[in-house]
Chains A and B, each alone.
Chain A
Amino acid sequence: MTVRDRLRGVSAGLRELYEAPYRRTLSGARRDEDDLFTVVVLAEALGVPNPASYYTVELLPLVAERVHEWHTRMGMDRSPLEHVSCC
């Protein structure tokens, strides 16, 4: 084992020490932000006028995959969208 490998190992261990305790909090925060983003992108489809829909419509395919996960988390058993059916 070279010095460089050992340093890399120490660095990885430190990284784990740094990140592990807060991984859940940070991923929760990220999820909240993603949820907000999903609502903005889906606004027109949900019947909310969205001045930026010209731009956000392009992003629809990106959030489509997450719709199922999103609506179940928001407490809706079925997808609220007419044209995006997932379950």
Chain B
Amino acid sequence: MNSLVLMLVGLAMMLAGYFLYSKYLGRRVYRLAAGFRTPAHELSDGVDYVPTNKFVLWGHHFTSVAGAAPIVGPAVAVIWGWLPAFLWVTLGTVFFAGMHDMGALWASVRNRGQSMGMLSGRYIGARGRNLFLVVIFLLLLMVVAAFATVIKNLLISTPSSVIPVWGAIVVAAVIGQMIYRWKINLLVTTVIGVVALYTLIVVGDRFPVVLPDPVLGMSPATFWIVALFVYAGIASLLPVWVLLQPRDYINGVQLFIGLGILYLSVLFASPAVVAPAINQDVPEGTPSLVPLLFVTIACGAISGFHGMVASGTSAKQLDSETDGRFVGYFGAVGEGMLALGAIIAATAGYRTLADWEAVYSAFNEGGVSAFVSGGASIVNAGLGIPASLSATILATMAVLFAATTMDTGVRLQRFVVQEAGEVLGVRVPKGWATVIVLVVAVGLTFSAGGDGSGGLLIWPLFGTTNQLLASLTLAIVAVVLLRKKRNPLPVLVPLVFVLVMSIYALVVQLGTFWADRSWLLLGLDVVILVASLWVALESAIAMRAARRGDFDPETDEPVLASSAGGGDERA
């Protein structure tokens, strides 16, 4: 199989999804109306509610949702062969992610731009809201721990990325000053920032940094993890304009450059896919494809995190409701493209099957490092950039995505801790809240084998939580549809599939963690399992009530039973 064919077929499927399926969803299911007054106009305040051009909003939405996760997941999952990952990413993007993101956006727009947490309170019930907070906290906790491991692995496997990765922090800080203090034009700033970053990449490629063992009494792996958390702690405490804002922006620009480099290289090099379509001879210890594939690739096929971005921010800026198709659905297509690129890099970037098998020697081996080395040889063949420089570019890209998720994640978790403190009646200062978050996250990272021995054990658990969040969002969208007496099947079928796969995966992993004696992960697994069953139960109750009751077609509020069919003895 040639990778160019794979790329074209994948792109054609996702674009067909956008042009056909999203049109169907927009017309028949969500019934987007151009005349609907969106929250951006109705509640316009110049801060949160601002009508925004749909291309700009798409760019913002896409760069917020796409990050390292759609690279890590597929790069791990190709161990089962390229075909399962390819099908799950393409079909998932078309029927799951696109529908989910567009649905979340629509549900939020129809509810004054409220976030999914608020909507779960309204459509699922008060317990639904608490459930939402629990799931979000777990998700943030795991993403921070998993990404620390991902970054550490890349810094060790690609030492040439050390200088650009840490130098990028300085670049971002300077950009922040250029914009707010020196008021330099953003276009000029962007060009300067990108040039500076790529100069650092060239410098880093010339001077790789390999840490001696031990460093300050720690192994290099431990040292990098500690350094990353110290960085994340400091970055999360700084005012956002100093570091987080310019960093997010540069990453967004970098996302487009990276995608361009990857797709152009495949176009010019069109290497053959060496990995088997379906790997008959998976390394020992690899869990079974069903259900683990569906939680290993979360972002890129369906991700609950998108629902948070769609409902929290994008919904408040949607100029016209019909733009939701482009912003929501095409945002998911963008992420699917990144995941597809990761699949191609991790399966076609090797010369022979034996080379590939040597990289994917065990489950959770390979992963992002395989994406970097495979992708580098494709970029080398396609664009003529030296292989080591290409590897540095891709590794830096992946690390920057993961690192911004980490610092933002720590910052958001700090708010969760402070809020939890308020509920308990304790005022937690922000420094202490950050320390609490860091201690928990570092503990989780090391207990999950972050020192290098265990690889990315926590990844499937992260995927499961993400799917759980997606299920919760889908349940809300389904309840909204049921209350409006529309056909909920396009939402219901994916919902049941995702939820069943997540619960199945949790049960399978329960056995693995038990056998490995990883008690912390086992405990987390149990918590997530309980949360999943709870989601299933609560959404079933809410859907039943929505199907039976009568609701005002405008507000979705229950209509007191006066007409026929209102009361029901069994309910």
Bound together = yes
**Chain A residues with a Cβ under 8 A of chain B:** 7, 10-11, 13-18, 20-27, 29
Option from A13, A14, A24, A26 in Cβ contact (under 8 Å) with B241: A26
Can you list 28 contacts pairing A with B, beta carbon distance less than 8 Å?
A10-B187, A11-B185, A11-B187, A13-B55, A13-B56, A13-B59, A14-B190, A16-B60, A17-B56, A17-B63, A17-B249, A17-B252, A18-B245, A18-B249, A20-B52, A20-B56, A20-B60, A20-B313, A20-B317, A21-B60, A21-B64, A21-B313, A22-B241, A22-B245, A23-B47, A24-B47, A25-B240, A27-B47
Give the chain A neighbours of B63 by CB distance below 8 A. Answer: 17
Contact partner of A15 (CB less than 8 A), chosen from B186, B239, B241, B244, is: B186
A sample of 17 more A-B contacts (CB under 8 A), given A24-B48, A25-B240, is: A10-B187, A11-B186, A11-B187, A14-B190, A15-B186, A16-B56, A17-B63, A17-B252, A18-B179, A18-B245, A20-B60, A20-B317, A21-B313, A22-B240, A22-B245, A24-B47, A26-B241
- Cβ-defined contact, A16 with B53, below 8 A: yes
* A7 nearest in chain B by CB position: B187
Name the distance in Å between B67's Cβ and chain A's nearest Cβ: 14
Closest chain B CB from A79 CB (angstroms)? 24
Contact with A along B142-168 (1 / 0, CB 8 A): 000000000000000000000000000
CA distance A66 to B425 in the complex (A): 30
Interface string of B59-80 (1 = CB under 8 A from A): 1100110000000000000000
Q: Please provide the chain B residues from 325 to 362 with a CB less than 8 Å away from any CB of chain A in the complex.
A: none
Q: Which of chain A's residues have a CB closer than 8 A to the CB of B48? A: 23-24
Residues 22-65 of B, flagged 1 when their CB comes within 8 A of A and 0 if not, give 00000000000000000000000001101011011001100110
Nearest first, the 4 A-B pairs at minimum CB distance are A11-B187, A16-B56, A13-B56, A14-B186
The interface residues of chain A, by DSSP majority, are classed as helix
Give the distance in Å from the alpha carbon of A27 to the alpha carbon of B64 in the complex.
20
How long is the Cα–Cα vector from A18 to B179 in the complex, in angstroms?
A: 10
Inside 8 A of B248's CB, which chain A residues have their CB?
A: 21
Report how far A13 CA is from B317 CA in the complex, Å.
14
- In the bound complex, CA of A11 to CA of B240 (Å): 22
Contacting residues, chain B, for A14 (C-beta < 8 A): 186-187, 190
Complex interface: chain A residues within 8 A of B241 (CB): 22, 26
Q: B283-309 interface mask toward A, CB cutoff 8 Å, 1 = contact, 0 = none? A: 000000000000000000000000000
Within 8 A of A (CB), among B205-228: none
In chain B, what residue has the closest Cβ to A29?
A: B239
Which residues of B sit under 8 angstroms from A21, Cβ to Cβ? 60, 64, 245, 248, 313
A59 to chain B minimum Cβ distance, whole angstroms, is 25
From A31, which residue of chain B is reached at the shortest CB distance? B47
Q: Is the CB of A20 within 8 A of B50?
A: yes
The complex places the Cα of A59 from the Cα of B121 at a distance, in Å, of 44
What size tier do the contact residues of chain B reach? Answer: 20 to 34
Nearest-Cβ distance from residue A54 to partner chain B, whole angstroms: 32
Residue of B nearest to A10 (CB): B187
Q: Evaluate contact between A13 and B53: CB separation under 8 angstroms.
A: yes
Residues from chain A with a CB closer than 8 A to the CB of B55 are 13
Which chain B residues lie closer than 8 Å to A7 at the CB level? 187
A26 CA / B187 CA spacing, docked (Å): 22
Q: In the complex, how many angstroms separate the beta carbon of B83 from the nearest chain A beta carbon?
A: 37
- The answer on a CB contact under 8 Å between A17 and B60 is yes
Closest-by-CB residue of A relative to B59 is: A17
CA A15 to CA B245, docked complex, whole Å: 12
A27 to B241 alpha-carbon distance, docked (Å):
12
The docked-state distance in angstroms from the alpha carbon of A9 to that of B317 is: 18
Q: Which residues of B contact A11 (CB under 8 A)?
A: 185-187
B322 to chain A minimum Cβ distance, whole angstroms, is 20
> How far is the CB of B311 from the nearest CB of chain A, in Å?
14
- Distance between Cα atoms of A29 and B180 in the complex (Å): 15
Q: How far is the CB of B408 from chain A (nearest CB, A)?
A: 10
Closest A residue, CB atoms, query B180: A26
Distance of A13 Cα from B52 Cα, bound (Å): 9
Q: B50: which A residues are within 8 A, CB to CB?
A: 20, 23
A51 to B53, CA, bound (A): 50
Q: Which residues of B contact A20 (CB under 8 A)?
A: 50, 52, 56, 60, 313, 317
Q: Which residues of A contact B313 (CB under 8 A)?
A: 20-21
Contacts of B60 in A (CB 8 A): 16-17, 20-21
Bound CA–CA A21/B252 (angstroms): 12
Which chain A residue shows the least CB distance to B45? A27
A13 to B249, CA, bound (A): 12
CA distance A18 to B252 in the complex (A): 9
Given the known A-B contacts A10-B187, A14-B190, A18-B186, are A26 and B56 also in contact in the complex, defined by CB atoms under 8 Å?
no
Q: Which A residues are CB-close (under 8 A) to B64?
A: 21
Q: How many whole Å from B20's CB to the nearest CB in chain A?
A: 29
CA of A23 to CA of B50 in the docked complex: distance in angstroms? 10
Residues of chain B lying within 8 A (CB to CB) of residue A23: 47-48, 50
Q: Which residues of A contact B317 (CB under 8 A)?
A: 20
- Which residue of chain B is the closest to A14 with respect to CB atoms? B186
A13 CA to B64 CA, complexed, in Å: 16
- For A22, what are the chain B residues with a Cβ–Cβ distance below 8 Å? 240-241, 244-245
> What chain B residues lie within 8 Å of A24 (beta carbons)?
47-48
CB of B457, distance to nearest CB on chain A (Å): 32
Query: What residue of chain B has the Cβ atom nearest to residue A19's Cβ?
Result: B245
Kindly report which residue of chain B lies nearest to residue A23, judged by CB atoms. Answer: B47
Q: Write out the residue numbers on chain B whose beta carbons fall within 8 Å of the beta carbon of A15.
A: 186
Q: Give complex CA distance A17, B60 in Å.
A: 6
**Residues in A neighbouring B249, C-beta threshold 8 A:** 17-18
